[in-house]
Amino acid sequence: MGAAYYRAESESGDHIDDPSEDALFMLIDDLNDSDDTFVVIQPDEDDPAWFTSVAVLDEGGYEVVRRDTAHREHDVISETSIDRIARDLTIWMAARDFPGQPTQHTINFSNTA
Condensed to tens digits (0 to 9), the pLDDT of residues 3-47 reads 468 899 999 999 999 999 999 999 999 999 999 999 999 998 888
82 CA to centre of own chain: 13
Distance CA 75, CA 58 (A): 20
Condensed to tens digits (0 to 9), the pLDDT of residues 47-67 reads 899 999 999 999 999 999 999
Predicted confidence at residue 4, as pLDDT, reads: 65
Contact 56, 37 (CB under 8 A): yes
Question: Which amino acid, residue 69?
Answer: T
Q: Does position 113 have pLDDT exceeding 60, yes or no?
A: no
Distance CA 54, CA 81 (A): 12
- Strand partners of residue 16: 8
pLDDT band at 100 (very low <50, low <70, confident <90, very high): low
Segment 85-107 shows an average pLDDT of 74
